[in-house]
Amino acid sequence: MKKEVLMVLAMVILVAIGYPSLGESAEPIKMVCLEVISGVMKTVGDGYQYGIKFAVEEINAAGGLLGRPIKMFYDDHQLKPDVGTRKALRYILEEKVSFIVGGTATNVGQALSDLGEKEKIIVLNYGWAGDDLTGKLFNRHHFRVQLSTSQHSTALAAYFAGTPYKTFYILCQDYSAPRQGAAAFKRAMNKFKPGWQLVGEDYHPVGAKDMAPYISKVIDSKAEVMFTIDWGGDLIVLLKQAAALGMKSKVASYFLSDPIATEAIGDAAVGAITAEVYMLTVDTPKNKDFIGRWAKRKMAPEHPYPDWTVGKSYQAFMFLAEAIKKANSTNAEDIIKAWEGLSYDSPMGRMTMRPCDHNVKTPIPVAEILPGPGQFYKFPYVGKPITIISAEKGAVPPGETGNPRCK
């Protein structure tokens, strides 16, 4: 008995001084995170990777998954589908990775989803929003823990159903995803707010420097709300020029929980309404605890808080970890069976993976941009109160997904 006690004490001392745990000496679970970490979209990819790094760090510190550490490789897909698939395949063949994670650029996401299906590799999507990924181009090995374009639009429509606004103008960039999102917004408004009026609809080229002709049409229409899916530089130009031209319409936007955008836009963002799968200002105990742990870690000076992309990728990866635990396996087929219908209590609330299309059903926070200084930043940012659109209300009806599995 004395000898056994001494052995236990010795192990405690070895762990305390940094001796590798059993999980660290086991065969690692290998994964690759492919993001854009160069060029003009680098800040988006960096944020996503910070969230993944933090999740992996926490999981490994707690003993890993299934008693095994996670080894994550990080690389740059440069916003190019061919580069992404070439690099992913190299990691699959040379490093034997068994998971792909990513979130920037839906066209890259579709290419990686197709590769995952071919190679029988689970693909975690924490940012690719295009409806077709879980719709007509669905692959069994792909799971989205992020709002689809239609979910985003549905949440905003559900929010405006509870307001007195009746007249709306749609102004978006001209490519497939914004057009899909605009169509979804119109469908959801017909459902939630019968009698609403669409007084104008326009699509502008990506990278337009002069939005004045479009903004003038919004002003002339006397629309009470302008709905836009613009992002990046286009969103900044649109809102700043709209303010300069005296536009009074309230703005409904997908991408204004990004502090980089709201700092650049400044007071022109105040009063806009935005929705996202993760928001800093949601007051759940789990989110407060997450924010506190991130602040102590000080992983990224440019992200003092786990805003926008950091929170999105973190909670998505933690949901993947729950699926692996339930499967008690890293085999793709076992994980597919385990993840379908699985629920996870995220910082935003309870998420559930819909079996028919592998698209998460989740509470969706909607908030107004308030003037700075606020709880987190000195400049305008999402404030309180937060309106939570329920997972059921924000979900796209199965018959509207385009996925034949969702009847």
The residues spanned by each domain of the chain are 8-147+285-362, 150-275+364-398
pLDDT tens per residue across span 244-276: 999 999 999 999 999 999 999 999 999 999 999
Looking at residue 141, what DSSP letter applies? Answer: T
* pLDDT (0 to 100) of residue 233: 86
Say if strands 29-35 and 99-102 run parallel, antiparallel, or are unpaired. parallel
For 274, 351, 392, the CA distances from 363, given in Å and listed in that order, are 14, 7, 8
Looking at residue 407, what DSSP letter applies? Answer: -
* pLDDT (0 to 100) of residue 25: 66
Per-residue pLDDT for 11 more than 80? Answer: no
> How far is it, in rounded angstroms, from Cα 374 to Cα 387?
18
pLDDT tens per residue across span 287-319: 999 999 999 999 999 899 999 999 999 999 999
Are 96 and 30 contacting, i.e. CB atoms less than 8 angstroms apart?
yes
Q: Which one is predicted more confidently, 355 or 2?
A: 355
Matching fold, domains 8-147+285-362 and 150-275+364-398: yes
pLDDT tens per residue across span 186-235: 999 999 999 999 999 999 998 889 999 999 999 999 999 999 999 888 99
Three-class SS of 169-197: EEEEECCHHHHHHHHHHHHHHHHHCCCCE
Peptide bond preceding 385: is omega within 30 degrees of 0, i.e. cis? yes
Across residues 106-123, what is the average pLDDT? 97
What pTM did the predictor assign? 0.91
Q: How many CB atoms lie within 10 A of CB 306?
A: 28
For 18, 68, 287, 326, the CA distances from 61, given in Å and listed in that order, are 12, 11, 20, 20
* pLDDT (0 to 100) of residue 41: 82
- Burial of 161: CB neighbours in 10 Å, binned 0-12, 13-18, 19+: middle
CATH architecture of 150-275+364-398: 3-Layer(aba) Sandwich (3.40)
* pLDDT (0 to 100) of residue 175: 86
> How far is it, in rounded angstroms, from Cα 149 to Cα 157?
12
Look at the domain 8-147+285-362 and name its fold: Rossmann fold (3.40.50)
